Structure 1
């Protein structure tokens, strides 16, 4: 098998089964970091061996077998360095685990293990993204507006805490779910957002992430039919995903207001609307229901209606009051500009200038540039566009921002 074929086979296995493999390996040892290390060595072995021997019929089972052998070797090394009693039972359990290729999907257990009270609340969702979906620290840091080095340190400490505290890998009693669900929701939505930004599916690390997140969202709704935020989260993802085909025209990025609603997925929108309606019957509004309601307000374009700008502003106002999030404040400012004009939007943005978390956030600079243009501040707008362009990873979005910047440049 050519080198590229081996790489593609390994990447496909990683996309399909990374979380399942880590969850299965870590369930026995309670050591997420060691499980990830063993799996990384297995992937390295695959890249070394598969080009010559060909990819196995069951790549996941091959990777699991090699990773478990790496775990056994690691335990044996510790046996030589520490007391035998401390690791002997673990070694026996690893050695006796079946090699029949059956890989149970323990991702839900791993998700809840990451929300254990022994784990710092701020790192629970990032830990899920790395352990369950294989994100690197830099990508996670970007999603949570944190410096990569800081996020890396937090993740290392959290994995050590799981091992030291002997955190159980199990779905807790339902009475304990409520206090842990926020982190589970946050991780799933962050995974969706990462996949959503790769509309063309060009990035192997993010390909199929959106579908994976929606699958996890459906699982939560099935497990928690009475939890309105679970339905709200799934509704939000479905509303966004319904527009995936309209976000590109001839390879060029198309912002939401310019999209052709005839290209939106009507079936997916209907499902999202049903979920949102059911969630609303519980009379317990939350972040995801509010965000889904914003998407629902835009979806009326599919029926030939115009979005209600004042309703969207009210929803963002409620979201900002509920979360205090700088991103919610940014969206509120943009919505305010639609109702009261660009100058009002700029005034609402002013307090965010000191918000460090937005310094590296492309949508902040793009929104600021748009409002500055509307107010006639072309030089300042051009500078803001340059900041946005430098922060954008998606080539199509970057090209769109460059076209916008060109219209306000001195030469133009």
Structure 2
């Protein structure tokens, strides 16, 4: 197999998977069939492209091939004649438009698919995993790890949810005002979860996960264009841009992890920060404050260090108190404790950590990393070293493990 052909197929699969599945599913009303048809098209591409050459528009080639696969599947399943004809007509029309327009992009239906995945007929617990897989192409094993269930269980739940979309005729559309609020919150959470998975993949061990950050930001922009009157959409996009602005400073040139308060702020992307500032300001004009706006406000305080050279820890403590009232997650509590340690002192920060139920943090890596750092600052070498060991064991990132190991080694060298 030609390595160029393999790379081209891999690239288009990574960059266009969700867009292709959404386009196919929005017309066939069958997510599993759309995924199977696209998978078969990718397999065909890997066989055909090395022989015939990479097509000028690989994305369109895959869409046409997948469309034909869907029609064949419909015939094999003896779909009712009218239904099969409707599917065929929809794809014939789409193919004609693409051929006539040359390289003009085909309609992007991912926002509609996101909302289809949050329909009330589908179990709310599977909404976010379903969006992560169907729209962003994240495999069930990775999703299962994030949601602390077995891959088999997650796969079964995802299959049931996709079947329900097909069998109950769930519409592919943005819901009306009466249903928008609750479903939008889930869509926002899924997009941010995807961004987080890409953010965690910065070590470069999985290039496909790195593309998730760009995909999540694109979805944030598309959602804002669709719902320009929703302040939380502004907040989410602002939050992701603040974080993305720091990408180049998160690692040294050797690939070593650099914690936020030690990053060289001059390496942060000033243009991206300015856009995030503007979006957050526009969100405030609606006078409807929410979780993502509050999280973005936290990141805006950190971003100020690029201009002022300092971090306003008391402002951060105030924002975390507000965030705890809106959405008191475990991550929020741990981050709040770290901020309290900076604004009120080490003992106050440790007390905030101690107030968290030990059962909740037993396997939560950020808790142990913060605890180790604070205990080391306090001078409790033995307890800090033990906390470092736990944090290292729980970390999936090789760069973070090296960073924590170096901190632990420097600490124990004092003995």
TM-score higher than 0.5: yes
Residue of structure 2 in register with 1:366 after alignment:
369
Q: Is the 8 A contact 1:137 1:148 kept in 2?
A: yes
Q: How does 1:68-83 map to 2 (within 5 A)?
A: 68-79=67-78
Partners of 1:184 and 1:399 in 2: how far apart?
A: 35
Structure 1 moving runs of 4+ over 6 Å? none
Which residue does the alignment assign to 1:203? 206
**Equivalences for residues 125-136 of structure 1 within 5 A:** 125-136=128-139
In 2 relative to 1, CA 292–54 (structure 1 residues): closer, same or farther, beyond 3 Å?
same
Q: Is the 8 A contact 2:232 2:292 kept in 1?
A: yes
Matched length:
404
Whether contact under 8 Å (1:195, 1:208) holds in the other structure is yes
Instruction: Give a deviation string over 1:269-304, Cα, whole Å, max 9, x none.
Output: 122112212222323221111111111111121122
Q: Deviations along 1:121-170, whole A, 9 cap, x unmatched?
A: 22222211111110112322344455544433332222122122110112
Most deviating of 386-395 and 108-117: 386-395
Report whether the alignment pairs 1:399 with 2:402.
yes
The residue that corresponds to 1:82 in the other structure is none
1:218 aligns with 2:221: yes
- Equivalent in the alignment of 2:329: 325
Using a 3 Å threshold, how does the CA distance of structure 1 residues 59 and 123 change in structure 2: closer, same or farther? same
Which secondary structure state, in structure 2, belongs to the residue aligned with residue 133 of structure 1? coil
Residues 5-14 or 372-381, more deviating: 372-381
Deviates more, 1:221-230 or 1:292-301: 221-230
1:202 shift after superposition? 5.4
Paired with 1:349 and 1:323, the residues of 2 have a C-alpha distance of 18
Higher mean displacement: 392-401 or 12-21: 392-401
1:244 is aligned to: 247
In the TM superposition, residue 318 of structure 1 has moved relative to its aligned partner by 1.6
User: For structure 1, which segment, 172-181 or 155-164, has the greater mean C-alpha deviation from structure 2 after superposition?
Assistant: 172-181
Structure 1 range deviating more: 230-239 or 334-343: 334-343
State the match for 2:238 in structure 1: 235
In the TM superposition, residue 258 of structure 1 has moved relative to its aligned partner by 0.7
User: What is the rounded CA distance, in whole Å, between the counterparts of 1:375 and 1:276 in structure 2?
Assistant: 37
* Counterpart check, 1:110 vs 2:89: no
Higher deviation after alignment, 180-189 or 119-128: 119-128
Separation in 2, partners of 1:26, 1:136: 18
Residue in 1 that maps onto 2:18: 19
The one of 272, 277, 284 aligned to 1:273: 277
Residue in structure 2 matched with residue 314 of structure 1 by the alignment? 318
1:353 offset after TM fit, Å? 4.7
The 8 Å contact of residues 68 and 94 in structure 1, kept in 2 or not, is answered as: no
Task: Indicate if the aligned counterparts of 1:379 and 1:408 stay in contact, CA closer than 8 A.
Answer: no
Cα deviation for residue 373 of structure 1 reads: 1.9
* In structure 2, C-alpha distance between the alignment counterparts of 1:206 and 1:130, rounded to whole Å: 13
Structure 1 partner of 2:291: 287
RMSD over aligned Cα, in angstroms?
A: 2.4
Gaps of 5+ in 2: 99-105
- Tell whether 2:36 aligns with 1:37: yes
TM-score (norm 2): 0.89
- 1:180 aligned partner: 183
* Deviation of the 1:55 alpha carbon: 2.2
* Whole-angstrom CA distance in 1 between matches of 2:68 and 2:114: 25
The 10-residue stretch of structure 1 (286-295 or 20-29) with the greater mean CA deviation from structure 2? 20-29
The more displaced of 57-66 and 5-14 is: 57-66
Which runs of 5 or more residues in structure 1 are unaligned? 80-85
**Residues 157 and 409 of structure 1: is their aligned pair in 2 closer, same or farther, counting only changes over 3 Å?**
farther
- Once the 2 structures are TM-superposed, how far is the Cα of residue 238 of structure 1 from its aligned partner? 1.2
User: Retained in 2: the 8 A contact 1:23–1:107?
Assistant: yes
Q: Please say if 1:91 is aligned against 2:90.
A: no
The answer to whether the 8 A contact 2:203-2:397 is kept is no
State the match for 1:63 in structure 2.
62
Hey, what's the Cα distance between the residues in 2 that align with 1:131 and 1:154? 13
